Amino acid sequence: MRKTLIGGALAGALVLAGCGTADDSSSDSSSSGGTTAVKLQLQWFVQAQFAGYIAAVDKGFYKEQGLDVQILEGGVDIVPQTVLAQGQADFAVSWVPKALASREQGAEITEIAQIFQRSGTYQVSFKDSNITSPADLRGKKVGNWGFGNEFELFAGMTKAGLDPGKDVTLVQQQFDMQALLRRDIDAAQAMSYNEYAQLLEAKNPATGQLYQPADFTVIDWNTVGTAMLQDAVWANSSKLESDTAYQETAVKFLTGSLKGWAYCRDNAAECRDMVVKKGSKLGASHQLWQMNEVNKLVWPSPNGVGLLDETAWKATVDLALTTKNQDGQTVITKQPTGTAYTNEYVQKAIDALKASGTDVTGASFKPETVTLNEGGA
């Protein structure tokens, strides 16, 4: 009976499409009982890549700031910067090149913090393939994910004097790393904190043991010099311009988030447990590996965590303008217009954290050594 009631109500809502708009446009920072409700849209499911935000919720760092933060998970077809631009979230986490492309298509968003200072994208191959630099990719089968995830690879190949359209065979890669392990492709795209770990969690049929880092060669785009900026926090441009309450919320949100990231730097295992508790389906050793690798991307942050390095921004924009993928497309066609980024709010957040005694540079950060178990368990 209840089902039919809900069904009927649903049908009504469908027929009246649009008439069911909630009374309060709930995604606006509506205050309730002294706390401000904030929605954060992630790029993917909950995993250690987003540990800082999760820790800030669990440890009450947002609450200290008077915020009630709800974390929205991503999905295959969820584009965080679109969700943000449409007003269904207050802040979003997105890679810089993808967000720049969305901006060019009309999304009014502004970067307010650069959480990952470094890129986590690798191109991985078996050691015996002797691919130690992008130039060695000539004539090889090169896996890539496409959908805007491939531009560092293409920039690297172009820099090495290769024509990605002619000199290599490009292969569309799946979510898993089986194609590389079976040698269907010679080099595979992998995130240091995810797919690379999956390789090390798989059994090598030749030895009966897990694959070892020594079995692979890694091309790191940070070293090659074609890295592009990744996880950044984006905000709604027009609200940022005119809405003083939103500006204050932005500073508070960043203060809480950065405190979360600092906490996860010093308490990797505890943050791993929080992520696992949030219902991540990836195993515990995999998540600890991911936490550790993500920490390496965030820390150390010599200028302060979350502060955007303008040289790196310029390098990312230049690569986004000039690098062509196999279809001859670039990420963006002209320089970003309007306020694409601002360090104003993150600087305030850093100052606030410094004043309260939080280490915001992580100069003494030392990554751990994580042992992966089979299947990441």
Please identify, among the stretches 11-19, 111-119, 142-150, 325-333, the one whose residues bind other proteins according to the rule CB under 8 A: 11-19
Name beta bridge partners: 92.
41, 234
Amino acid identity for residue 151 in this structure: F
Between 1 and 355, CB nearer to other proteins: 1
Tokens of 79: 């584009």
Q: How far is the CB of 224 from other proteins (least distance, A)?
A: 25
- Residue numbers 277-316 binding other proteins by CB under 8 A: 279, 281-284
Query: Residue 161, interface with other proteins (CB under 8 A)?
Result: no
* One-letter amino acid of 130: N
Stretch that binds other proteins, among 10-18, 55-63, 245-253, 337-345 (CB under 8 A): 10-18
Instruction: Return the HEC string of 206-232.
Output: CCCCECCHHHEEEEEHHHHCCCCCCCE
Query: Does 45 sit near other proteins (CB under 8 A)?
Result: yes
Of the pair 45, 365, the CB lying nearest other proteins is at 45
User: In the complex with other proteins, which residue's Cβ is closer, 25 or 31?
Assistant: 25
Length of the chain: 377
Of 222-281, which residues contact other proteins (CB under 8 A)?
276, 279, 281
Residues 41/93, Cβ–Cβ less than 8 Å:
yes
- Looking only at residues 109 through 128 of this chain, which bind other proteins when binding is defined by CB under 8 A? none
- Please pick, from the candidates 48, 79, 113, 275, the single residue that binds other proteins as defined by CB under 8 A: 79
Q: What is the dihedral of CA 116, 151, 221, 287, to 10 degrees?
A: 50
DSSP-derived pairing of the beta strands 216-220 and 121-126: antiparallel
CA dist 277 and 317 (Å) reads 38
Which of 63, 68, 78, 171 is close enough to bind other proteins by CB under 8 A?
78
Burial of 5 from C-beta contacts in 10 A (0-12 / 13-18 / 19+): exposed
Pairing of strands 35-41, 67-72: parallel
Residue 86 lies near other proteins (rule: CB under 8 A): yes
Amino acid at 53: Y
Judged by the rule CB under 8 A, the positions of this chain that interact with other proteins are: 3-4, 6-11, 13-14, 20-22, 25-27, 39, 44-45, 73-79, 82-83, 86-89, 175-178, 181-182, 198-199, 201-203, 276, 279, 281-284, 373-377
